């Protein structure tokens, strides 16, 4: 590494512009990683696919691993999330929510994006900021779900996990959607009758 100019102050680190403070920190992290690497010029490098050392990498093998690991929503849930009448941004939010892929503080800490001490809820309630807390148990959100449950009817107990909450919604939404459809139909009846009357008068 040193012979290639990657030692401290070497030609490999000559930059075209002055770095910002946060960039300097990233550069220091990068150099600390590179200093631990030992290059051996007499040995050729090769890639190895850990999941199939003999056969090597294949798209089929990678897909099989991805599917085996997939703990995401089931087909019924997926059909509801990606329904044609659901706006795309809502579908993406629901998909990320059910897979715990939203930038909540616990996820940011796990990826070393924010420090461990900053993992608590932004509302100041002292709880760890997780998907379940933000969307279900946060002091500002929890009372709202009580009102939604009473409006939907049939969900007496509050779910503590987003997945359970969504499953309860799917069960109750069948009845609620039927009720909404019948309400829409009743609301559109007078309009339909008046348009029929106009057509008769015109003919």
* DSSP line for the chain: -TTTT-STTSGGG--SSPPPHHHHHHHHHHHHHHHT----TTS------TT-TTT---HHHHHHHHHHH--S--HHHHHHHT-TTS-HHHHHHHHHHHTT-S--HHHHHHTTSS-GGG-B-TTSS-SB--HHIIIIISTTTHHHHHHHHHHH-S--S--SSHHHHHHHHHHHHHHHHHHHHHHHHHHHHHHHHHHHHHHHHH-
Bridge partners of 120, per DSSP, are: 128
Question: Each residue of 153-182: pLDDT tens digit?
Answer: 666 666 778 877 777 777 666 544 455 455
Q: Between 195 and 95, where is the model more confident?
A: 95
> What are the boundaries of each domain within the chain?
1-44, 72-190
Question: Predicted confidence band at 88 (pLDDT cuts at 50, 70, 90)?
Answer: very high
The answer to whether 77 and 166 are in contact (CB under 8 A) is yes
pLDDT tens-digit series, residues 125-161: 889 999 999 888 888 888 888 887 777 766 666 677 8
Residues β-bridged to residue 180:
none
CA distance 1 to 81: 50
Which structure tokens are listed for 50? 């850990």
Q: Which residue has the tokens 């990606």?
A: 82
User: Residue 166: CB partners within 8 Å, gap ≥ 6?
Assistant: 73, 77, 94, 98
The pLDDT confidence band at residue 93, using thresholds 50, 70 and 90, is very high
């Amino acid at each position: 590494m040193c012979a290639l100019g990657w030692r401290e102050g070497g030609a490999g680190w000559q930059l075209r512009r002055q770095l910002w403070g946060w960039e300097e920190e990233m550069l220091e992290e990068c150099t600390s990683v590179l200093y631990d690497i030992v290059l051996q010029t007499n040995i050729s490098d090769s890639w190895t696919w850990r999941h199939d050392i003999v056969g090597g990498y294949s798209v089929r093998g990678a897909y099989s691993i991805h599917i085996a690991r997939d703990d995401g929503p089931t087909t019924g849930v997926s059909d509801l999330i990606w329904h044609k009448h659901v706006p795309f941004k809502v579908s993406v939010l629901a998909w990320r929510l059910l897979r715990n892929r939203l930038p909540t503080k616990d996820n940011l800490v796990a990826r070393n994006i924010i420090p461990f001490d900053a993992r608590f809820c932004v509302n100041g309630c002292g709880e760890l900021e997780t998907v379940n807390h933000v969307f279900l148990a946060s002091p500002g959100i929890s009372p709202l779900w009580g009102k939604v449950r009473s409006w939907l009817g049939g969900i007496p107990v509050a779910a503590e996990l987003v997945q359970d909450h969504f499953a309860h919604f799917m069960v109750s939404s069948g009845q609620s959607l039927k009720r909404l459809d019948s309400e829409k139909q009743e609301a559109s009846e007078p309009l339909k009758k008046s348009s029929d009357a106009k057509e008769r008068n015109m003919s």
